[in-house]
Each structure stands twice: as C-alpha cells, then as structure tokens.
Amino acid sequence: MRKSVGGFTIVELLIVIVVIAILAAITIVAYNGVQNRTNDSAVQSDLRNAGIKTQEYYLTSGVLPVGGSMAAAGVKATQTAYGAHYVPAGSSGYNFLYCVTDTNSGSFGFVAASKSGAVYTYKDGKVNTGVGPLTSWTTTCSNNGLPAGGYWLFSNGSWTI
C-alpha cells in the first residue's frame, strides 16, 4: 500500500496565488481612491484658507496682495496634494492660480488642481468644482468666471508660498 504524503497540488497553489493577487488589486484600487479623496480635500481646504487670508489682508491693508506678498498674507498650501497640471513646453509645470486684475477692487479668486486631476475654485467665499484643464492664467481664470489676471503660486515646478 502506498503511503499518503501531505502537501498541496500545483492547482491548489495556483488558486491561492490568484486569490491573493485579486485581493491585492482590490486593496490598491481602494487605496488610490482614498489617496485621491485626501488630496482633493487638502486642495479644497487650502483654497478656502487662501481665500480667507486674502480677504483678511484686503480688509487690513485696503489692497489685495500681489505675487510675492501672498506669503506675507499667510497663504499656504499642502504642497504634496498638487500636481503639475499645466506644463507648457520647457517648463516644470504650473498649478494653484491666484486670479486678480485690480488689487483695489477686492475681486479675486483661486483655481487649483489636486494630484487626482480634479479642478477646484474659490470665489465669493465658496469652494466649488472648477473648469479644467489648467492652461494659461488668462484662460484658466476666465473659464472659471474669475478676474482674468493672475499669479501662479506653483510656478515652473516651484512654490512661491
């Protein structure tokens, strides 16, 4: 009589490997979704905070901040939540746009895209889904109903805030 040897057949091992691969794929997809929602929330929060800080600056100084004075106004960004979504030839990418034409008017807005590619705007105290993709500041601001002038806060791969 032949003695039975314990162990698994090749088919059983392959089935286990396939099941593990399927579970790993599901986990990766779920993780990417969570990560995208986290980046989207960070960008929305940054836009809201930038709007509040810009409005505070306007109320105390009588003019809106321009370019480099955004940091002085206290505007900050969760830099890891953004991608370089507008990349013209020879650049390292642009994102987080401050739309303003007349610093005395009090009219301004922001447009930014998270790493997921979702575009958001800040206008009149509210953060909304914006119109993408990001292009030149004139087009991006105008497409989102904001003043058609602007400053990139993420410019050619570097943060100015």
- For residue 4, the model assigns a pLDDT of 67
Model's pTM, two decimal places?
A: 0.83
Residue 8 three-state SS: coil
> And the tokens for 151?
């400053």
pLDDT at 34 over 80: yes
∠ CA 102-97-137, nearest 5°, is 75
Q: What is the pLDDT of residues 85-144, one digit of tens each?
A: 999 988 899 999 999 988 888 899 999 999 999 999 999 999 999 999 999 989 999 999
Q: Greatest CA separation found in the chain?
A: 98
CA distance linking residue 127 with residue 139, whole number of Å:
19
Give me the count of residues in the chain: 161
pLDDT at 1 over 70: no
- For residue 69, the model assigns a pLDDT of 82
Contact 109/123 with Cβ under 8 angstroms?
A: yes
For the chain, give every domain's residue range. Answer: 32-159
> And the tokens for 126?
């509210």
DSSP at 3: P
CA distance linking residue 160 with residue 101, whole number of Å:
19
